[in-house]
Structures are given as structure tokens and as C-alpha cells.
């Protein structure tokens, strides 16, 4: 158990819908990262938050947004879902800016039908 908690574990939704994925980082970690893992794209970095502020942005679609709350948990919002958004979404956390390890949650498997 990495100490990073993601909910829900599985999500099935229809095209055009909106979902929210939640992540609680390890105790003491200030950085939260979101990654998408799909068969065709591999593991792709989406976005990083550090202590409530957005710090780095990767290949995140405009339909996707994220935030980190004062208690440091983070949410990834995915809207106008398409079949191609089906993937495993991971949250990771680290103490700072990847000075050492990043710990990954169990992931949320999103299936868009």
C-alpha cells in the first residue's frame, strides 16, 4: 500500500457525460500528479499540483481539469467524455518536486461506453 488513495476504483459511464476522480496523497506529500495510461498512448503525464497550485501541465485535454484543495486532496474532472478517454487514471504524490520517489495510487479504471 503506497498510502495514495484513489476513488472510485472503477467507473463506467456514457459518452458525453462528466465524471470526477478523487485522490488523497500520502500524509505529508504536497505534490499530486495525474497520469493517464491507455493502450495506445502508454503512460502520459496530465498535470501536477503543488500545495494547491498548478505547477506543470502535460498532455491534458481542454475537456479535462483538475484542482487541489486546502487539505491537499485532488480531483480530476473529465467532461464531454469520448470512447477514447477510456483508460486507467493514476494519481501519484511526492513530498516535493520529485526530489525522491513518487508514489502511485491504485488507479481508477474509466470505461466510456
Closest to another protein by CB, 18 vs 57, is: 57
Q: Which residue in the set 90, 93, 110, 112 belongs to the binding site for another protein (CB under 8 A)?
A: 90
Q: Show Cβ contacts of residue 99 under 8 Å, excluding neighbours closer than 6 positions.
A: none
Binds another protein by CB under 8 A, chosen from 13, 55, 61, 86: 55
Q: Radius of gyration over alpha carbons of the chain, in Å?
A: 13
Is residue 42 part of the contact set for another protein (CB under 8 A)? yes
Residue from 25, 107, 110, 112 touching another protein (CB under 8 A): that is: 107
Half-sphere exposure of 39 (CA within 13 A, CB side): 2
Give the one residue of 11, 19, 29, 31 binding another protein; rule: CB under 8 A: 31
67 binds another protein (CB under 8 A): no
Which among 16-24, 45-53, 64-72, 79-87 is the span making contact with another protein, rule CB under 8 A? 45-53
Answer yes or no whether residue 22 interacts with another protein by CB under 8 A: no
Say if residue 39 is exposed, middle or buried (CB neighbours under 10 Å; 0-12, 13-18, 19+).
exposed
CB of 16 to another protein, least distance (A): 26
Residues 6+ apart with CB under 8 A from 102: 31, 33, 92, 93, 94
Per-residue DSSP letter, 44: E
Amino acid at each position: 500500500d503506497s498510502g495514495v488513495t484513489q476513488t472510485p476504483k472503477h467507473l463506467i459511464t456514457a459518452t458525453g457525460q462528466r465524471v470526477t476522480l478523487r485522490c488523497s496523497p500520502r500524509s505529508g506529500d504536497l505534490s499530486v500528479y495525474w497520469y493517464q495510461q491507455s493502450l495506445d498512448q502508454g503512460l502520459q503525464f496530465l498535470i501536477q499540483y503543488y500545495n494547491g497550485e498548478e505547477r506543470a501541465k502535460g498532455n491534458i485535454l481542454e475537456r479535462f481539469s483538475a484542482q487541489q484543495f486546502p487539505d491537499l486532496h485532488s480531483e480530476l474532472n473529465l467532461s464531454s467524455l469520448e470512447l477514447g478517454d477510456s483508460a486507467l487514471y493514476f494519481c501519484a504524490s511526492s513530498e516535493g518536486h520529485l526530489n525522491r520517489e513518487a508514489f502511485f495510487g491504485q488507479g481508477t479504471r474509466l470505461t466510456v461506453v
